[in-house]
Amino acid sequence: MSTSSGQTDQSRIALYETEQKWIDASIDLYNFALNNFSAISVRQNRLMIADQVTQDALDHKLRRAVELHREFWGLRSSTIKSR
């Protein structure tokens, strides 16, 4: 296997692994929202959280999902450019 081909494979593996982490984080966020729906509501187009513990957990899960989303699209963009 050539170095170029090996690097391409490594890039695709990294892309796949990052996408899987993003999917898992998104599912975790969604499940958290479902499991805590009584503490989460929308009023006047604003997300309202009943308590700080739920707010902190939701913020953490949301930040993680967004971080992985950005990482995935960054890797995808660089993988496409390196073709």
Task: Give Cβ neighbours of residue 11 (< 8 Å, ≥ 6 apart).
Answer: 75, 78, 79, 82
Return the domain boundaries, the chain.
Answer: 3-81
From first to last of its 83 residues, the chain has per-residue pLDDT tens of 445 667 778 989 999 999 999 999 999 999 999 999 999 999 999 999 999 999 999 999 999 999 999 999 999 998 887 76
Rounded CA separation 21/23 (Å): 5
Whole-number Cα distances in Å, 7 to 3, 11, 22, 28: 6, 6, 22, 31
> For the whole model, what pTM was predicted?
0.83
Q: How far apart are CA 9 and CA 63, in angstroms?
A: 29
Q: For residue 29, count other CB atoms closer than 10 A to its CB.
A: 19
